[in-house]
Structure 1
Amino acid sequence: MFRLTSALLTTAVLAGCAARGPAGLDLDTSITAVSQASRVRSVVLHYTSVDDASSIHLLSKGKVSAHYLVTDSGRAYRLVDENRAAWHAGASSWYGNIAMNSTSIGIEVVNSGWTEGPDGKPLWHPYNDRQLRALTILLRDIIQRHGIAPENVVGHSDIAPQRKVDPGPLFPWKALADAGIGRWYDETGAAEHLARLQLQGLPDTAWFQQQLQRLGYACPQDGVLDKPTINALAAFQMHYRPALHDGQPDAETAAIMLAML
C-alpha cells in the first residue's frame, strides 16, 4: 500500500513539473542542471542626493531604478526583483565588464551627497548608524546568496569614475570591511610599503595606471596624468583613502595599492 501511494505521489509531482509552457509548449521543469551560477557578479552602492520621499518616487516612477533603497531611518525597500535588471549603473566598467546593469545589484542609500561650503569646497553629508546596520544585513545576505567576491562590492564612482562620485568619501567602506564585507587592504603592509616608498621615491604615472587597471578601474594606459586618470585615481582614493581624494599620485596611495596584492 505504501509503495503504491509513493508511486502515485511521484507521478503527481512529475506531472506537475511537466506544465504547459508558452503557446502550449510541453515544458518539463523537473530536472535542474548542476552546472550553473548566479548572473549577479557585483553589488553597486549609490547615494540618492534627495530625501526619503523623493528617493522612493524617483526610483519607482522615474527613468532610473535600483534593486534596493535604504532610507534615512534604516528601512529597506525592494524596488526591483533581483532576477531583473535595474537601471542604476549607466555607462560603466569594472574589471572590463561593461554590462553592469545586467550583472549587478544596485543599492541606493538616502543621502544628500554634498553641498557647497563657504569656501566653495564640497561639504559631504554623513551616513547614520541605522543605515549602516541595514546595509550590513542586506549586503551579507546578497553576497552569500550570489557568491559575490569582496572586490566586487563597489561604489558608483568605482565603476564610473568619469561621471560619478557617489556614494562619496563619507561612505563607511572601512566599517563594512571590518564587518567582513568588501575589499580592503593590509594596513600593516601599507605602512611598510609607505616607509620604503618615502626612501625610494614615487612610481611614475604609468605605474599608477597599471595598478588602477589591475584593481578593476577603467583607466588609460598611456603614462599621461590626464583628466581620466586623475578621475580614476580620485575614485580609488575616495574608497580607500577618503581623507584626501584629489586624484594626484602620492606615496600613500601607492602604498595602499601595493598592500592590495
Structure 2
Amino acid sequence: MIWISSHVGILENVVPETFVSFHSGRSSWGNYSQINPISIGIEIVNFGHNEIDDSWDPFFQEQIRIVGLTVTRMVNQYKVLPHNIVGHSDIAPNRKTDPGVMFPWGQLYKDYGIGAWLDSDEMNETVIIAKYRPSTPCPRIPDQKLFVNYLGIYGYNITDEVQAIKAFKAHFTANQKPELYNQNVTHLEMYWIWALVAKYLH
C-alpha cells in the first residue's frame, strides 16, 4: 500500500490508478464511508480562496482541458456514474472547500460530457417530469430541512448541514458565481437538487 495523497497531479501521474491513494481523507459519499479504496483522486494546482480580499483563484483552460480528457478516459474505463464525479468539498464538506466555486463543473459537462449537470431545457419542471418521472413533486418554497434531506439522498454527508449546503452550491448553483456562495437555500437550490435526484437517481 502506498501512502500518497492522489493518483493524478495535473500535469503528472503520482500513484498508479490500481493502487489505493489517500487523497480523500475522512470522507463519505452515498452509502460509502471509505472513499479512498473506491475512487481516483486528481489534484489541480490552484490557490483556492483568498480570505484577505474574499476572491477565488481561477483555473487555467489548459488545466480544465487535461482534466476533461483524463476524466473522460477514466469514466469510459471504469464505468463511473455521472453523479459520482465529485470534488473534495462534496465528499468532505465539513473539512474541505476545494475545488471551490470557480472550478467549471458545467463546462466539463458541456464540453466533455462528464459529471452531473442540468441541460438548458432541464431548467423547466415540465421537462424533468416528462424525461425522468420524479417520485416527488417539485418543491414550491425554499425549505432547508427538505433540501438537506435531498442532499442526503443525492450522496452528501449532511452531518454539518451548513457546510453540505455550501458544498452543493459551490458545485452547482453558485458555480462561477462567488457572490452566491453562502448557506442560503433559495428556490434555485430546491429546483436543482430535486431535478438532479430525478435525473441521476431515478
Band of TM-score, shorter chain = 0.7 to 0.9
Deviation at 1:112, TM superposition (A): 0.9
User: What is the match of residue 123 of structure 2?
Assistant: 190
Partners of 1:91 and 1:112 in 2: how far apart? Answer: 22
CA distance in 1 between partners of 2:162 and 2:185 (Å): 8
Question: AA paired with 1:255?
Answer: Y
CA drift of 1:187 comes to: 3.8
Structure-2 separation of matches of 1:146 and 1:64: 21
Instruction: Tell me, in whole angstroms, the C-alpha distance in 2 between the residues paired with 1:152 and 1:218.
Output: 14
Residues 1-261 of structure 1 mapped to structure 2, 5 A cutoff: 64-70=4-10, 76-118=11-53, 122-178=54-110, 179-192=112-125, 201-220=140-159, 228-242=160-174, 243=177, 244-260=180-196, 261=198
Question: Which deviates the most, 77-86 or 153-162?
Answer: 77-86
Q: How much has 1:124 moved relative to structure 2? A: 0.4
Q: Is the 8 A contact 1:233 1:247 kept in 2?
A: yes
Q: Does structure 1 retain, via aligned residues, the 8 Å contact 2:4–2:15?
A: no
Output the TM-score relative to the length of structure 1. Answer: 0.64
Q: Equivalent residue of 2:41, what SS?
A: strand
Identity of counterpart residues, as a percentage? Answer: 34
1:201–1:181 Cα change, 3 Å: closer
Partner of 1:10: none
**Following TM superposition, by how much is the alpha carbon of 1:105 offset from its aligned partner in structure 2, in angstroms?**
0.2
Unaligned runs of 5+ in 1: 1-59, 71-75, 194-199, 221-227
Cα drift, residue 96 of structure 1: 2.1
Listed one character per residue, the Cα deviations across residues 128-149 of structure 1 (whole Å, up to 9, x for unaligned) are 1110111111111111111111
- Offset at residue 64 of structure 1 (A): 4.6
- Cα pair 1:126 1:171 within 8 Å, conserved: yes
Q: For 1:116 and 1:209, locate their aligned partners in 2 and report how far apart those are by CA, in whole Å.
A: 27
Larger relative CO (CA 8 A, sep 6+): 1 or 2? Answer: 2
Larger Rg: 1
Structure 2 vs 1, CA of residues 192 and 85 (structure 1 numbering), >3 Å: closer, same or farther? same
Deviation at 1:166, TM superposition (A): 0.2
In 2: Cα distance, 1:137 partner to 1:77 partner: 14
**Cα pair 1:67 1:79 within 8 Å, conserved:** yes
Do the aligned partners of residues 187 and 210 (structure 1) sit closer, same or farther apart at CA in structure 2, a change above 3 Å counting?
farther
Is the strand fraction higher in 1 or 2? 1
Equivalenced residue count is 179
C-alpha distance after superposition, 1:55-95 (max 9, x if no partner)? xxxxx9xx75210001xxxxx21110111111110110100
Amino acid at match of 1:248: N
